[in-house]
Amino acid sequence: MNILILGGGGREHSLAWAVLQNPKCDKLIVAPGNAGIAQIAECADLDILNGGAVAQFCEENSIDFIIVGPEAPLAAGVADDLRNAGFLVFGPSKEAARLEASKGFTKEICDAAGAPTAGYARFDQADAAKDYIRAEGAPIVVKADGLAAGKGVIVAMDEATALDAIDDMFGGEFGSAGAEVVIEEFMEGEEASFFVLCDGKNALPVGTAQDHKRAYDGDEGPNTGGMGAYSPAPILDEAMQTQVMDQIVYPTLREMAARGTPYAGVLYVGLMIKDGQARLVEYNCRFGDPECQVLMLRLGAQALDLMIAAAEGTLDRAKVTWADDHAMTVVLAAKGYPGSYDKGTVIGRLNDLPENSWEVCFHAGTTTKDGQVVATGGRVLNATARGKTVAEARDRAYAMADAIDWPEGFYRKDIGWRVLG
């Protein structure tokens, strides 16, 4: 099978790594890829938001299966374009990807499905939004409706912050993503992520994870795309997974199918859990980054079979085999991230790192320049390891992070504190 992965982050490096473990894969191309992916697969320069261009590339390269990594091509309808051209694709349609691309739409689906989530109201006028905030009081959560690269959510602990967020959003700070806002009840509890493969009819849980969104130790500092993650998430035990499938995932999938827009792909279910009850925080229509990295290390070769089953509609016959293990990833980011940071700094000693089925350093934002690996993004590397215990996974991941020579980078030292005590 010739396989194309769209994307070039740590998530896609880990997807490529898992796909290559599977003997079904004859050839792998990743577009655009990065310096780490280039060491294991062919990388192609391709406009991944242009469905027509991707379809033509697949035709020319005899591609049999396409895995779409990030949300932007999904929200742009690239999976539809590829399916219409006759290709087998892992990733939801543009209509189904609205579960991530519009927060208001997700709330509407939750209402129709009876899925527990935070109370909310939707606004397209600043004055009415502010009146609502004053009436409800803080803490309160203000969200831009559309895709805002993870920056469109303001958890306001006081009223002034919430009112400022309304000014920013209707003032155009988030572009068209902020033309509508959702204002939500603040939920307390423990957050966890649940990943479910879907084929339009069937659903199969493929793992749980928790990530650390804040930039600095002690969960302090600004929000980021995620500074580290581990799997499994103990709070999502079997009983809790059953509750989430019954109360949230299946009702959502039934509602999507009833509307003629069945969901197929991976559903990333972001949850807030308190007193034994889970409520939905958000859906994403893709694997999390860096959560995917810990899931792929644990799933290995079977990840490809599962994604093919999701694309073909045969998940009812698929099974996941779990080792009794744990995985952790530590994100190495450029100093200054998530604010401004330097690009082009050189990263050394990557070739000395171990690489086996227990430990891999996935690349997120790297390229090769004059024979050296240089940083090109905010989140740059993911030191990822498995272990029989979470402490063992942590020790291996941090040994890798410590061994990397990158003075312009930083990483949190306390990933997994909640489960490690």
Residue 118: which of ligand AMP, ligand GLY, none does it interact with, CB under 5 to 8 A by kind? ligand AMP
Q: Which is nearer to ligand GLY, 145 or 291 (CB)?
A: 291
Please tell me whether residue 186 binds ligand AMP under the rule CB under 6 A. yes
The reply on whether position 289 binds ligand GLY by CB under 6 A is: yes
Q: Which does 289 bind (CB under 5 to 8 A by kind): ligand GLY, ligand AMP, none?
A: ligand GLY
Q: Which does 153 bind (CB under 5 to 8 A by kind): ligand GLY, ligand AMP, none?
A: ligand AMP
Taking CB under 6 A as the rule, does residue 105 contact ligand AMP? no
225 binds ligand GLY (CB under 6 A): yes
Shortest separation between residue 194's beta carbon and ligand GLY, angstroms? 13
The reply on whether position 377 binds ligand GLY by CB under 6 A is no
Q: Is residue 270 at the binding interface for ligand AMP, with CB under 6 A as the rule?
A: yes
Contact segment (CB under 6 A) with ligand AMP among 16-24, 32-40, 183-191, 318-326 equals 183-191
Q: Does 226 bind ligand GLY (CB under 6 A)?
A: yes
**Chosen residue from 252, 284, 293, 329 binding ligand GLY by CB under 6 A:** 284
Buried b (16+ CB within 10 A) or exposed e, 171-186: eeebeebbebbbbbeb
Among 110, 187, 227, 249, binds ligand AMP (CB under 6 A): 187
25, 48, 78, 118: which one binds ligand AMP (CB under 6 A)? 118
Residue 291 partner contact from ligand GLY, ligand AMP, none using kind-dependent CB cut-offs of 5 to 8 Å: ligand GLY
Q: Which does 359 bind (CB under 5 to 8 A by kind): ligand AMP, ligand GLY, none?
A: none
* Minimum distance of ligand GLY from residue 288's CB (angstroms): 4
Position among 81, 145, 211, 255 found at the interface with ligand GLY (CB under 6 A) = 211
Give the footprint of ligand AMP on this chain (CB under 6 A). 118, 141, 153, 155, 184-187, 191, 213, 270, 281-282
